[in-house]
Amino acid sequence: MAQLAAATAAPPHLKAIFPVGLSSDLYDLVRPGGLMNKTFIGGWSVATAVAATRSEHLLRGPLLEAARKLFQHPRVHAKTATMNGEAALGALQGVMRGSYPSEPWDEIWQNLALSRPFRDDWWQERSLMSRLGTIGVPVHLGCDWDNAPVHLPSTFDTWAGFQRLTEDERPPVRMTLLGPGGLNWPWESLHTEALAWFDHWLKGRDTGIMEGPPIRYVLPGAGDDQWRTADRWPPTEAVLTPFTLQADGALVRGGRTDGSRSYLAHAQTAARPSRAAHRPDLPDVLSWTTPPLAADLDFAGNIELRLDASITDCDTSWIVALEAVDEAGGSTFITPGWLRASLREADEQRSTPGRPVFSCTTPTAVPPGETVHYRIPLCPNARRLPAGHRLRLTVGGSDADGGVPKALGMEHQPAGGVSVNTVHAGSTLWLPVLARG
């Protein structure tokens, strides 16, 4: 994040940057789809305040040096090799107990978490997306597929922002997408690439870092160490394919479009009355699952849920999770999506198939009981699902425990009150399916 911000200031001695795991837009980082990521903002804001007010002697002193040596121990290092660092943010609130001055940190937290739920000038001043055209140095973006609730969406948004610039405005840009756990030790997972990048741009060495297509990515589940490449994102060979959400809970290509399903939305619904006569006969979430796949399914690119639904309140949270389900019934989280219903208006001039873009500036109440069409972006992702496995889509109003499965333990603040949300059959999940050679 700091690298990209520095580059927009165009300091004369800066020659190249390698920002891995960045966020270019503060609003999208804190409130994806208009729903506050309360796990992230709680841990990140406290850790930032504590670290920023400590002396350099402490930050470079014996305590952190001991921690560094601990994580270099082979056994400890091996245990954390596939543990995404973002998953530890919730624990930071319990660890970072040091005091810090109320100003400016309390004011910053209030702006992030309380007083500015919608995009306004305060957020816009802190967004780098409108300033990408001021960056004149080469940029190497990167992230891993697991980081979908924090930095992965911005990696793709930043890539797309650079592509919207003219050739004269756009600096050399490349992007690498790592497999699960790739960001835990980025100085190891991208050590070769980072050195080659800076040797090329700072020392003029022919390291080969600029050869081949500008995008490299791992395809999780493929069972190999091969890099896939692409000239653009989404990859040219990715075909957006609709999977229909049927009323019977099936997720199929070209399925039936009659009927509907309903659930009760809001985190508070977990506290239902204990007397059976008073218990609403509705689930807290809905899931749709494909039949076992007849052949391997590869996908890579942008993913979108196009939802036709009605609600009984004037606002609600659409929280979405996509999972892979193996033959034994075990599930693996793939990618999430979020949208506050009152912020549903998409900017069609900036949107692309599979990737709607929202300005999130002016909330519009949802007409209760009316069917409304929603375009809900899921974070772009890639995967191979083997034959016999299934794909499961879950939709609900909360990702608290017992709700929609959550990515890296991240929970979001629900919007609206208690609502009966009805999803109509014929709603579709658009998946970027790769042709198999």
* Of 195, 230, 265, the domain-final residue: 230
Judge if 283 and 427 occupy the same domain. Answer: yes
CA distances from 96 to 37, 49, 50, 307 (A): 19, 9, 7, 41
Alpha-carbon distance of 432 to 350, in angstroms, equals 19
In the prediction, which pLDDT does 100 show?
Answer: 76
Q: What are phi and psi of 391, to 5 degrees?
A: -110, 130
Residue 201 in contact with residue 138, Cβ under 8 Å? yes
Query: Can you give the pTM of this predicted structure?
Result: 0.91
Q: For residue range 321-341, what is the model confidence (pLDDT) as tens digits?
A: 999 999 999 999 999 999 999
In the prediction, which pLDDT does 96 show?
Answer: 53
Within a 10 A sphere around the Cβ of 417, how many other Cβ atoms? Answer: 13
In the prediction, which pLDDT does 176 show?
Answer: 97
Q: For residue 231, give the 3-state DSSP assignment.
A: coil
Is 93 or 163 the better-scoring residue by pLDDT?
Answer: 163
Judge if 215 and 249 occupy the same domain. Answer: no
Alpha-carbon distance of 266 to 413, in angstroms, equals 10
Alpha-carbon distance of 393 to 431, in angstroms, equals 11
In the prediction, which pLDDT does 130 show?
Answer: 93
- Amino acid sitting at position 36: M
Judge if 51 and 116 occupy the same domain. Answer: yes
Partners of 374 in beta bridges: 307
In the prediction, which pLDDT does 89 show?
Answer: 58
Strands 173-178 and 139-144: parallel
Judge if 292 and 397 occupy the same domain. Answer: yes
In the chain, helix, strand, coil percent, each to 5? 30, 25, 45
Residue 358 in contact with residue 352, Cβ under 8 Å? no
* Of 230, 259, 275, the domain-final residue: 230
Let me know the angle formed at the C-alpha of 192 by 187 and 195, rounded to the nearest 5 degrees.
85
Judge if 157 and 196 occupy the same domain. Answer: yes
Residue 183 in contact with residue 20, Cβ under 8 Å? yes
Domain that holds residue 330: 238-434
Residue 84 in contact with residue 146, Cβ under 8 Å? yes
Judge if 245 and 190 occupy the same domain. Answer: no
- Of 11-25, 253-267, 371-385, the range with the lowest mean pLDDT is 253-267
- Length of the chain (residues): 437
Closest CA to 138 of 5, 1, 4: 4
pLDDT band at 269 (very low <50, low <70, confident <90, very high): very low
- Amino acid sitting at position 69: K
Alpha-carbon distance of 288 to 329, in angstroms, equals 14
In the prediction, which pLDDT does 404 show?
Answer: 97
Q: How many CA atoms lie within 13 A of 421 on its CB side?
A: 30
Q: Which burial class, exposed, middle or buried, applies to 18 when counting CB atoms under 10 A from its CB (0-12, 13-18, 19+)?
A: buried
Judge if 221 and 251 occupy the same domain. Answer: no
Query: By percentage, how much of the chain surpasses pLDDT 70?
Result: 92
Helices 38-52 and 102-110 sit at what angle, rounded to 10 degrees?
160
In the prediction, which pLDDT does 270 show?
Answer: 46
Judge if 220 and 296 occupy the same domain. Answer: no
Judge if 162 and 265 occupy the same domain. Answer: no
In the prediction, which pLDDT does 85 show?
Answer: 60
- Of 10-19, 184-193, 302-311, 419-428, the range with the lowest mean pLDDT is 184-193
* Of 213, 230, 247, the domain-final residue: 230
Residue 390 in contact with residue 272, Cβ under 8 Å? no
For the record, the structure tokens of 16 come out as 């190249």
Span 258-269, mean pLDDT? 84
Q: For residue range 350-378, what is the model confidence (pLDDT) as tens digits?
A: 888 899 988 778 899 999 999 999 999 99
Q: What CATH number should be reported for the domain holding residue 407? A: 2.60.120.260
Judge if 223 and 301 occupy the same domain. Answer: no
Judge if 139 and 71 occupy the same domain. Answer: yes
Judge if 219 and 95 occupy the same domain. Answer: yes
Q: For residue range 141-171, what is the model confidence (pLDDT) as tens digits?
A: 999 999 999 999 999 999 999 999 999 999 9
In the prediction, which pLDDT does 71 show?
Answer: 77
Domains of the chain: total: 2
Residue 160 in contact with residue 357, Cβ under 8 Å? no
Instruction: Decide if pLDDT at 285 tops 70.
Output: yes
Instruction: Decide if pLDDT at 318 tops 60.
Output: yes
Instruction: Decide if pLDDT at 61 tops 90.
Output: no
In the prediction, which pLDDT does 79 show?
Answer: 74
Residue 419 in contact with residue 266, Cβ under 8 Å? yes
Alpha-carbon distance of 203 to 206, in angstroms, equals 9
Whether omega before 138 lies within 30 degrees of 0, making that bond cis, reads no
- Of 16-25, 235-244, 355-364, the range with the lowest mean pLDDT is 355-364
For the record, the structure tokens of 55 come out as 């002396």
CA distances from 159 to 119, 155, 231, 258 (A): 22, 6, 12, 39
